């Protein structure tokens, strides 16, 4: 409908006209690709014993994603909290009183941009790393590799989307950052390593997301689900965050 | 046309707006007045659907804002001038809003020129001054060329040229048949701009009438009289003559007198009969500010008290609280200070005192009397048990020379 396209256009203008948010996407790209290539270069020269197992050339190329995802989280937080911290939300909702339409348009515009950057990043880090890996390299035509590369882009997009939902619930950029960043940077990692919490931690969004990137050998991961299940788990997290955000947006005064 | 019916908004147990009903008609500028925290902004926010009323409704052209088709084309609002992402340029900001409401981007450049931001249109709004931000906010309100406009404190931070521009803009918009609701604290500005007034205090309607009626209803005009200084008996003679006719003669600071209760020709006749020459006989018309102060005194939430300066510096003897500190006089009668010791010539006293503590004259019928000591809730009090008007932000300093409101109780 005409109304939605107008709002979409506006949201696209919004997301593309603020430099700081665009920088987070640039950062996501460079962090992921540079760390991926650096790790590949480092691990290539090590023996299997030193690495602790045979090299998974695809998975290694995604090493930078644990950092790059944080930039994507920052992107998600900024595009939503920017409305609240600046007061722009009042102008926006003044123009679009239908809050569902407003939220949907923002999600679509921002997700489109995140998906584009995520896919480009995933493809770039894969091919960049394979260049460095030399004879250990994988080919995009190998079994499961293409799927892993696509999932890499999806993973980054879903992380941004998840943080958008969370930020819609929290509204404050400070609050959103201080919950999401330590969680994905530290807490989730610790929970995934500690034996007692491991079984539960594997269902956290980032842990599940990383599983999506595995090509075939899932024994390393010790997961109760495969890549397909991982995608479903991530989608469930994203859906939960967005529904929570929508309920908050609908119910609270702007 | 904006119409509120029984509009109520509570935040937890605090009631911001209570049972507010009014109509804002097209074709005139309607001023929306009230002390800080009286619920003006809350009312405006509910009008544009940002806040959901706890009870009652507010409609624009018969529909609640959220159900208006393409609301942005029907209502333009300046609620918070700084509601702009600082990282976006003025033009980009307006473009976002224009796209939201389906306004062509050529209109963006139009309104930028209308508000005079042409030179900084491509600068990031982060560096804008208060006045520039205000202009940007007004541009946003005008964008959709809407028939209903709301402006919350539009002249904040504007220079005199900007204030004049706003005044003419409001009048022009109204003369085009639009509905214009403007809130402001600047009474002199409102007196010049608005045709109609809606006054609220503590979230309740105090007045809904034309500016002229408002002044007439809420202030008392009087005559200023001056008699020759070389005849010391004249004041007494005049007083007696006027008193017999039911008038009152009160001395003023500058040696003149004010006469209440009598019309000017009558004063002249009485003076003539009493053989008193008059050097001056002039009418005093109350200003909107006086009328407003008179009405809202009981409904002010935030009051200043005397700055005792915590003995940071010794107060010079014989200068009790000069400057911005209110004097310890207690106005009598209908709230006009009289008698010696009043600092202001012209005896209005209000401009100097601002929101300083004053005794609150009882306004019959408004329900906003002085909160009685001992905690009797004033009549029509929507807050059970509360003691409104007890100056929440004015912590009484122990041992300090307390303000005259205490003294008057």
Structure tokens at A213: 């990137």
Give the closest of A3, A18, A90 to B88, CB-based: A18
**Cα–Cα distance list, A148 to A62, A144, A230, B252 (Å):** 10, 6, 12, 90
Beta-sheet pairing, B14-24 with B280-284: unpaired
Question: Contact A13/B140, CB-based, under 8 Å?
Answer: no
- Closest-CA distance of chain B to residue A105, Å: 10
Q: Any chain A CB within 8 A of the CB of B104?
A: no
Give the closest of B48, B86, B99 to A94, CB-based: B48
Geometric angle at alpha carbon A98, from A95 and A103, rounded to 5°: 95
Structural domain boundaries in chain A: 2-251
- Closest-CA distance of chain A to residue B207, Å: 28
Structure tokens at B299: 């409904």
Beta-sheet pairing, B204-210 with B222-226: unpaired
What are B117-164's pLDDT values in tens digits?
Answer: 989 999 888 888 888 889 999 999 999 999 999 999 898 888 889 899
- Binning pLDDT at 50, 70 and 90, where does residue B315 land? low
- pLDDT per residue as tens, chain A (254 positions): 557 888 899 999 989 888 888 999 999 999 999 999 999 998 888 877 777 777 788 888 998 998 999 999 999 999 999 999 888 888 888 888 888 999 999 999 999 999 999 999 999 999 999 999 888 788 888 888 898 999 999 999 999 999 999 999 999 999 999 999 988 888 888 887 888 888 888 888 888 888 888 776 555 566 778 888 889 999 999 999 999 999 999 888 87
What are B71-129's pLDDT values in tens digits?
Answer: 888 999 998 777 788 888 999 999 988 988 888 999 999 999 999 898 999 988 888 88
Nearest CA in chain B to A14: B96
Written as one string, the DSSP assignment of B88-135 is: SBHHHHHHHHHHHTT--HHHHHHHHHHTT-GGGTTSBGGG--HHHHHH
Question: Contact B92/A19, CB-based, under 8 Å?
Answer: no
Give chain B's length. Answer: 409
Residue A224's CB is within 10 A of a number of other CB atoms, namely 9
Check residue B318 and give its pLDDT.
56
Check residue B365 and give its pLDDT.
40
What are A194-244's pLDDT values in tens digits?
Answer: 888 888 888 888 888 888 887 765 555 667 788 888 899 999 999 999 999
In chain B the domains, ranked by start, together with CATH numbers, are 2-217 (3.40.50.300), 222-284 (3.30.70)
Residue whose structure tokens are 């943080």:
A163
Helix, strand and coil percent figures for chain A, each rounded to 5? 80, 0, 20
Report how far apart the first and last C-alpha atoms of chain B are (Å, whole number): 44
- Among B54, B29, B51, smallest CA distance to B41 is for B51
Question: Contact A97/B52, CB-based, under 8 Å?
Answer: no
Instruction: Kindly indicate whether the ipTM for this predicted assembly is greater than 0.95, answering yes or no.
Output: no
- Closest-CA distance of chain A to residue B29, Å: 22
Chain A residues with beta carbon closer than 8 angstroms to that of B70? 3
Residue A50 makes CB contacts below 8 A (sequence gap 6+) with none
Question: Contact B50/A17, CB-based, under 8 Å?
Answer: no
Task: Write the burial class of residue B216 (CB in 10 Å: 0-12 exposed, 13-18 middle, 19+ buried).
Answer: middle
Decide: helix, strand or coil at residue A25: helix
- Side-chain-side CA neighbours of B405 within 13 Å: the count stands at 25
DSSP secondary structure code for residue B397 in this structure: P
Give the closest of A6, A20, A97 to B66, CB-based: A97
DSSP secondary structure code for residue B316 in this structure: P
């Amino acid at each position: 409908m005409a109304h939605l396209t107008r709002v979409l256009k506006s949201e696209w203008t919004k997301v593309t006209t603020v430099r700081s948010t665009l920088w987070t996407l640039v950062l996501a790209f460079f962090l992921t690709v540079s760390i991926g290539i650096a790790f590949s270069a480092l691990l290539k020269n090590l023996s299997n014993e030193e690495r602790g197992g045979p090299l998974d050339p695809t998975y290694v190329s995604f090493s930078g994603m644990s950092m790059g995802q944080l930039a994507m989280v920052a992107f998600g937080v900024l595009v939503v909290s920017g409305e609240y911290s600046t007061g722009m939300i009042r102008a926006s909702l003044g123009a679009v009183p239908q809050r569902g339409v407003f939220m949907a348009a923002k999600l679509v515009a921002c997700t489109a941009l995140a998906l584009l950057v995520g896919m480009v990043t995933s493809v770039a880090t894969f091919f960049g790393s394979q260049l460095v890996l030399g004879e250990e390299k994988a080919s995009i035509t190998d079994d499961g590799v293409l799927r892993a590369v696509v999932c890499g882009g999806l993973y980054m997009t879903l992380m941004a989307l998840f943080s958008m939902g969370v930020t819609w619930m929290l509204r404050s950029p400070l609050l959103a950052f201080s919950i999401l960043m330590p969680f994905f940077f530290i807490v989730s990692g610790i929970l995934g390593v500690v034996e007692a919490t491991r079984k539960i931690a594997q269902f956290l969004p980032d842990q599940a997301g990383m599983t999506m990137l595995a090509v075939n050998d899932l024994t390393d991961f010790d997961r109760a689900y495969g890549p397909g299940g991982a995608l479903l788990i991530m989608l469930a997290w994203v859906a939960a965050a967005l529904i929570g955000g929508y309920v908050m947006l609908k119910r609270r005064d702007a | 046309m904006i119409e509120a019916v029984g509009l109520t908004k509570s935040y937890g147990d605090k009631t911001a707006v209570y049972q507010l009903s009014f109509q804002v008609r097209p074709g005139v500028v309607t001023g929306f007045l009230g002390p800080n925290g009286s619920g003006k902004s809350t009312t405006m926010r509910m009008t544009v659907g940002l806040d959901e009323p706890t009870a009652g409704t507010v409609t624009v052209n018969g529909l609640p804002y959220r159900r208006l088709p393409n609301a942005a084309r029907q209502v333009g609002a300046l609620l918070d001038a700084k509601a702009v992402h600082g990282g976006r340029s003025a033009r980009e900001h307006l473009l976002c809003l224009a796209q939201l409401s389906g306004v062509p981007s050529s209109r963006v450049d139009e309104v930028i020129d209308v508000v005079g931001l042409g030179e900084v249109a491509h600068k990031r709004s982060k560096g804008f001054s208060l006045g520039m931000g205000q202009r940007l906010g007004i541009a946003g309100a005008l964008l959709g060329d809407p028939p209903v406009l709301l402006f919350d404190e539009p002249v904040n931070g504007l220079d005199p040229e900007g204030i004049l521009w706003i005044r003419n803009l409001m009048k022009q918009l109204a003369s085009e048949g639009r509905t214009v609701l403007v809130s402001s604290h600047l009474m002199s500005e409102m007196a010049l701009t608005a045709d109609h007034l809606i006054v609220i205090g503590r979230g309740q309607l105090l007045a809904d009438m034309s500016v002229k009626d408002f002044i007439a209803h809420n202030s008392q005009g009087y005559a200023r009289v001056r008699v020759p200084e070389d005849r010391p008996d004249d004041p007494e003679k005049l007083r007696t003559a006027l008193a017999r006719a039911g008038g009152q003669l009160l001395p003023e600071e500058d040696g003149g007198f004010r006469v209440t209760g009598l019309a000017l020709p009558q004063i002249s006749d009485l003076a003539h009969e009493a053989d008193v020459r008059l050097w001056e006989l002039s009418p005093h018309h109350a200003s909107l500010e006086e009328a407003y102060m008179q009405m809202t005194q009981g409904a002010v939430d935030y009051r200043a008290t005397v700055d005792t300066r915590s003995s940071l510096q010794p107060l010079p003897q014989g200068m009790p609280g000069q400057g911005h500190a209110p004097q310890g006089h207690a106005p009598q009668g209908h709230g006009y200070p009289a008698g010696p010791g009043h600092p202001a010539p012209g005896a209005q006293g209000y401009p100097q005192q601002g929101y300083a503590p004053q005794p609150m004259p009882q306004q019959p019928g408004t329900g906003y009397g002085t909160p009685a000591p001992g905690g009797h809730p004033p009549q029509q009090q929507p807050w059970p048990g509360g003691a409104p008007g007890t100056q929440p932000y004015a912590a009484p300093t122990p041992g300090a020379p307390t303000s005259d409101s205490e003294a008057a109780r």
